[in-house]
Amino acid sequence: MSIFTKLTQRYLSKNKTRTIVTLIGIIVSMALFTAVIEGAYSGYQFLKNREIAVTGEWQVIMNNVNEEGLEEVKTNKQIEKYENVYTLGWAEVANENDGKPYLLVQSLGDTEHALFPINLVSGRMPEKEDEILLPENFIANAKEKYQVGDTITLETGQRFIEKEQLSENTPYQEKESLKNTTKHTFTIVGIMERLP
């Protein structure tokens, strides 16, 4: 045994109370430190999971991606998941909200593993191209009352002011109109909560 070991053992045996208090202090401080770290991590996980549940698991939206850009996204190893949302167009609908006369019609590839939350109120998810899921705020504000099983015919197109095409994020303007319209008939198979 080294001299330091002998001195330490002699000190510990002569000062038993101080030794026990020191050991208890070390144990309590380590337990407290562990509890704080675990609490912080648990809080972080809770906030992360809540945000995913409310707004979805997506982080970036890329608009107007062509086939070449989509292939680049698919092959990029830094991108774990992606969702391809195809915009069919805007449809003019009669509703109670004069400031929002359009319904944006989009097609989602894999609805089972969607990166944003689709919470059904009633019905089921669309399985065919001629099936549609409508948000409950649209159902509530529509002048015509729709329900699951009804058919709806929409003329979808792009929003324009004169020759300038408007994006999805551009607020409604009275002078705008729909151009390049195509007629689609859908069967309403479900009603969902409004997307965040």
- Closest-CA residue to 154 (of 88, 92, 85): 92
1 against 81, higher pLDDT: 81
Let me know if residue 110 belongs to a domain.
yes
> To 10 degrees, what angle do helices 3-14 and 16-55 make?
90
Do 93 and 29 reside in the same domain of the chain? no
Do 95 and 152 reside in the same domain of the chain? yes
Do 9 and 50 reside in the same domain of the chain? yes
pTM for the model stands at: 0.63
Let me know if residue 74 belongs to a domain.
no
Half-sphere exposure of 66 (CA within 13 A, CB side): 1
**What are the tens digits of pLDDT across the range 169-192?**
777 877 888 888 889 899 999 888
Q: Are 127 and 64 in contact (CB under 8 A)?
A: no
Do 113 and 156 reside in the same domain of the chain? yes
Domain of residue 175, residue span: 84-192
Do 88 and 49 reside in the same domain of the chain? no
Let me know if residue 33 belongs to a domain.
yes
**What are the tens digits of pLDDT across the range 2-55?**
898 888 888 888 888 888 998 999 999 999 999 999 999 999 999 998 888 877
Do 88 and 12 reside in the same domain of the chain? no
Confidence tier at 111 by pLDDT (50, 70, 90) = low
Count of domains observed in the chain: 2
Q: Return all residues near 132 (Cβ < 8 A) that are at least 6 apart.
A: 105, 126, 152, 186, 187, 188, 189
Let me know if residue 39 belongs to a domain.
yes
Q: Are 57 and 118 in contact (CB under 8 A)?
A: no
